[in-house]
């Protein structure tokens, strides 16, 4: 809001320059966005008292230690009102005051008046309208002038549904009202939208000689709601939305009458018309000055506290060892002791508050009061493990991304996602749905990065929103790997990263389960291709995650040229395993014996089947590890060359068998026996032909 500093100085009589005043206001009251002869000040929403030159002047005086002399406007209430005023909704209009001014000559305003209005960004209309605006800028009370000749009475009432009014603006814009809105009407029609805009029919014209000046107080919520619904913000509605002091109407009318006499030759009636059923009075607040010192952390004395409060025009008296502070009604923001302490603090100067280390026990000894509430959050232990997992992936070549948590209409339909949470008013279809999985946006990241890099390895951690409002949100880790060439090795490279994580988290015996259907979110499952998908399970079958190679149709639709594989893991499960107790395994005392086995099996035989057959056949428990080092899938001619005489064998597998005992050095004979049993079992149980 714009303020003329020369006008402020007229009240304050201060010696500060405009820039000094601006700096002072910014530090201790309101941010001054532009300094200079016209100050642009962001008045805080709890300070309606400062929406005027008088208010800012009062503030500048208090902050600079200058004494402030407020102008006094005496008034009387007319015994025989010159117009009948009826307020039908006192909640919406706590006070309605009016003053009749006669004998006016409408014309342009004098230069000093026009200049002040224009400095504050208000257009000059004519002397009467200009006076109402001038008083608003000066005292903070929005006003309106009705042509007395065109108004038979004043009724403040709710609008009727569909009631129309033409606004007092150049275009005579028509507004359609509803019952939530308040209007000023006469016996025939609505004359103004209360607190927002006057109507065209009863405004000031060149022929006007007598006016009803309105200075009223309207409920901020009513004005705010109507202003929002009508899309109409005016200088008046802004002030009423903040909340205007009801005790300001009478002084404003007196001041306006005075000015109209001066600039339009008018004669105000001697008394004002006033409907004010429940006068708002000044407020008493008790202040314990020790509390003020404790809250601010400064050793300010009682005398200084008293003088600061007085500088704000608050009355201070002693009351049973405490201060009784009487706060004027215009300071609607000051209702409790802490509000007074804020006044003391900012006038005293926040710069004078020292930076002091807190003195508290080095650990908290609080007691639980409601454990049911605490289920919604994660603690530092989880956060640290998550960081460690991130660092592990970064060490393995993956870069961390942060994505928007909203996914697009396009991704939703491409991945056939149902039951997603939807924003009521999204910015666009690109960001409409809460993500059920990290995978969809990771695929977009992969595609975008493939434009300028050959290989993409990314990961992200974050919440997904399938379950909301019931304790913790799901915390996930998503990983994507993509290259310009489609290659099934991508799946295995990603599997390597997942294995690394599982090891890191101490999840021994995890396995990859390819039995559909997959109990994982469709956002990941539907992005991948059947036959190249697996659930990742712990050895107790707990589902830890899911991974798969991207579906060619999804890749094509996203214009992801090349291949990609994705994984998504349950971060809390990973962390839970990582935090389990662990015990070290003693170092081996005896040497191992390694034997290599190569065999042919049918294509459908899984590595897991082979490994399982080895362990089943190892009755003496001598096999420490089965380390597969080569898998070869012959195709076409290669198939014949690799195994001409047994075409039914489609896959060659070679592995190291590592034998070891914890009790003795194994003899060749023992190992030979075990190896022979294993070979035989492989032939019998997985149909292997040992090469």
Partner 1 sequence: MKSQLDHIREVALKDLENLRSLAELEAARVRALGRSSELSQFLRSLKERAEGERRELGELANRLRGELERQFDGAKEKLEDVAYAALEKLDVTAPALRSRRGHIHPLAQAQDDANAIFASMGFRILEGPEVETEWANFDALNTPPDHPARGMQDTFWLQGMEHLMRTHTSPMQVRFMQAHQPPFRIIVPGRVYRNEATDATHEFQFHQIEGLMVARAGEGAPSMANLKGVMEHFYQRFFRDPNIEVRFNASYFPFVEPGVEVYIKGSSGKLAGKWLEVAGAGMVHQNVFERVGYVRGEMQGFAFGMALERIVMLKYKIDDIRLFNGGDLRFLRQF
Strand partners, 213: 99, 145
**Residue 270 burial (CB < 10 Å; 0-12/13-18/19+)?**
exposed
Q: Beta 528-537 vs 273-275: how paired, if at all?
A: unpaired
The Cα–Cα gap between 446 and 564 comes to 8
The Cα–Cα gap between 284 and 407 comes to 54
Compare residues 29 and 681 and give the one whose CB is closer to partner 1: 29
Q: Does 284 bind partner 1 (CB under 8 A)?
A: no
Out of 207, 303, 424, 587, point to the residue binding partner 1 (CB under 8 A): 424
Per CB under 8 A, the segment of 302-310, 349-357, 532-540, 556-564 that binds partner 1 is 349-357
Out of 108, 229, 279, 377, point to the residue binding partner 1 (CB under 8 A): 377
Q: Which of positions 223-242 make contact with partner 1 (CB under 8 A)?
A: 224-225, 228
SS3 track for 57-95: HHHHHHHHCCCCCCCCCCCCECCCCCCCEEECCCCCCCE
Q: Does 294 bind partner 1 (CB under 8 A)?
A: yes
Compare residues 112 and 402 and give the one whose CB is closer to partner 1: 402
Q: Does 34 bind partner 1 (CB under 8 A)?
A: no
- Minimum Å gap between C-beta 334 and partner 1 is 10
The Cα–Cα gap between 251 and 612 comes to 94
Q: Does 291 bind partner 1 (CB under 8 A)?
A: yes
Compare residues 431 and 512 and give the one whose CB is closer to partner 1: 431
Q: Does 492 bind partner 1 (CB under 8 A)?
A: no
Q: Does 366 bind partner 1 (CB under 8 A)?
A: yes
Q: Does 445 bind partner 1 (CB under 8 A)?
A: yes
Contact (Cβ atoms closer than 8 angstroms) between residue 490 and residue 563:
yes
Per CB under 8 A, the segment of 76-84, 138-146, 377-385, 655-663 that binds partner 1 is 377-385
SS3 144: strand
- Minimum Å gap between C-beta 477 and partner 1 is 13
The Cα–Cα gap between 399 and 562 comes to 19
Out of 371, 418, 580, 583, point to the residue binding partner 1 (CB under 8 A): 371
Q: Does 341 bind partner 1 (CB under 8 A)?
A: yes
Q: Does 519 bind partner 1 (CB under 8 A)?
A: no
Q: Does 342 bind partner 1 (CB under 8 A)?
A: yes
Compare residues 80 and 370 and give the one whose CB is closer to partner 1: 370
Sorted by sequence, the CB contacts under 8 Å of residue 554 that are 6+ apart come out as 414, 415, 443, 526, 527, 528, 560
Q: Does 489 bind partner 1 (CB under 8 A)?
A: no
Q: Does 286 bind partner 1 (CB under 8 A)?
A: no
Query: Site size for partner 1, by CB under 8 A?
Result: 102
Q: Where do we find the tokens 């409601």? A: 370
Compare residues 93 and 168 and give the one whose CB is closer to partner 1: 93
Q: Which of positions 170-229 make contact with partner 1 (CB under 8 A)?
A: 220-221, 224-225, 228
Compare residues 15 and 428 and give the one whose CB is closer to partner 1: 428
In degrees, rounded to 5, the angle at the alpha carbon of residue 105 between the alpha carbons of residues 101 and 111 is 105
Out of 78, 173, 209, 403, point to the residue binding partner 1 (CB under 8 A): 403
Structure tokens at 201: 């029919």
- Minimum Å gap between C-beta 267 and partner 1 is 42
- Minimum Å gap between C-beta 495 and partner 1 is 17
Out of 399, 489, 631, 690, point to the residue binding partner 1 (CB under 8 A): 399
The Cα–Cα gap between 376 and 393 comes to 27
Q: Does 404 bind partner 1 (CB under 8 A)?
A: yes
Closest by CA to 412, choosing from 394, 392, 391, 430, is 430
The Cα–Cα gap between 142 and 541 comes to 71
- Minimum Å gap between C-beta 411 and partner 1 is 14
How far, CA to CA in Å, does 646 sit from each of 316, 543, 599, 637, 639? 106, 40, 12, 14, 10
């Amino acid at each position: 809001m714009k303020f003329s500093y020369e006008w402020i100085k007229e009240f304050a009589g201060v010696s500060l320059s405009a820039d000094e005043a601006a700096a002072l206001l910014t530090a201790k009251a309101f941010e001054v966005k532009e300094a200079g002869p016209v100050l642009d000040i962001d008045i805080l929403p709890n300070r309606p008292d400062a929406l005027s030159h008088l208010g800012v002047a009062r503030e500048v005086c208090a902050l600079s230690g200058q004494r402030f002399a407020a102008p006094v406007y005496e008034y009387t209430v007319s015994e025989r009102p010159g117009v009948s005023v009826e307020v039908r909704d006192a909640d919406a209009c706590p006070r309605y005051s009016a003053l009749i001014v006669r004998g006016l000559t409408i014309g342009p305003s004098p230069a000093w008046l026009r200049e002040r209005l224009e400095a504050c960004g208000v257009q000059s209309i004519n002397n009467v309208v200009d006076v109402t605006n001038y008083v608003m800028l000066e005292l903070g009370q929005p006003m309106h002038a009705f042509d007395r000749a065109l108004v038979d009475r004043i009724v403040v009432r709710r609008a009727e549904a569909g009631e129309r009014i033409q606004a007092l603006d150049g275009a005579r814009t028509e507004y359609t009202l509803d019952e939530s809105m308040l209007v000023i009407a006469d016996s025939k029609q609505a004359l103004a939208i209360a607190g927002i805009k006057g109507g065209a029919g009863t405004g000031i014209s060149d022929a006007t000689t007598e006016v009803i000046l309105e200075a009223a107080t309207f409920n901020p919520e009513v004005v705010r709601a109507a202003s929002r619904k009508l899309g109409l913000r005016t200088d008046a509605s802004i002030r009423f939305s903040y909340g205007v002091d009801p005790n300001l109407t009478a002084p404003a009318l007196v001041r306006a009458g005075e000015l109209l006499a001066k600039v339009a030759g008018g004669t105000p009636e001697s008394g004002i018309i006033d409907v004010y059923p429940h006068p708002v009075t000044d407020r008493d607040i008790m202040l314990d000055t020790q509390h003020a010192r404790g809250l601010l952390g400064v050793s300010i004395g009682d005398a200084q506290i008293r003088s600061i409060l007085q500088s704000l025009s608050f009355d201070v008296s002693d009351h049973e060892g405490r201060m009784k502070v009487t706060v004027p009604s215009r300071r609607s923001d000051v209702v409790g002791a802490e509000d007074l302490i804020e006044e003391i603090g900012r006038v005293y100067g926040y710069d004078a508050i020292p930076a002091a280390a807190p003195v508290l026990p080095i650990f908290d000894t609080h007691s639980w009061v409601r454990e049911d509430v605490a289920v919604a959050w994660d603690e530092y232990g989880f956060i640290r493990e998550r960081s460690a997992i991130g660092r592990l992936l970064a060490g393995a070549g993956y870069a961390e991304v942060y994505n928007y948590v909203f996914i697009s209409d396009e991704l939703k339909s491409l991945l056939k996602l149902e039951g997603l949470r939807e924003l009521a008013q999204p910015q666009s279809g690109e960001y409409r749905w809460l993500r059920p999985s990290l995978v969809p946006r990771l695929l977009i990241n992969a595609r975008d990065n493939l434009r300028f890099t050959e290989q993409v390895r990314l990961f992200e951690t974050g919440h997904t929103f399938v379950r909301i409002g019931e304790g913790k949100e799901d915390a996930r880790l998503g990983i994507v790997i993509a290259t310009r060439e489609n290659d099934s090795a991508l799946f295995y490279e990603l599997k390597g990263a997942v294995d690394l994580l599982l090891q890191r988290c101490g999840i021994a015996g995890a396995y990859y389960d390819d039995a559909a259907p997959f109990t994982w979110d469709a956002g990941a499952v539907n992005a991948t291709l059947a036959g190249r998908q697996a659930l990742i399970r712990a050895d107790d079958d707990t589902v830890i995650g899911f991974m798969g190679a991207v579906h060619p149709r999804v890749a094509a639709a996203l214009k992801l040229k090349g291949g990609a594989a994705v994984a998504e893991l349950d971060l809390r499960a990973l962390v839970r395993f990582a935090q389990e107790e662990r015990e070290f395994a003693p170092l081996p005392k005896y040497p191992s014996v390694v034997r290599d086995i190569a065999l042919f099996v049918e294509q459908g035989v899984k590595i897991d089947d082979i490994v399982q057959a080895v362990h089943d056949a190892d009755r003496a428990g001598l096999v420490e590890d089965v380390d597969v080092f080569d898998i070869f899938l012959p195709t076409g001619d290669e198939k014949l060359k690799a195994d001409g005489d047994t075409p039914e064998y489609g896959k060659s597998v070679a592995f190291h068998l590592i034998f070891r005992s914890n009790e003795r050095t194994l003899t060749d004979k023992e190992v030979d026996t075990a190896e022979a049993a294993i070979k035989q079992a492989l032939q019998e149980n997985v149909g292997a032909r040992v090469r």
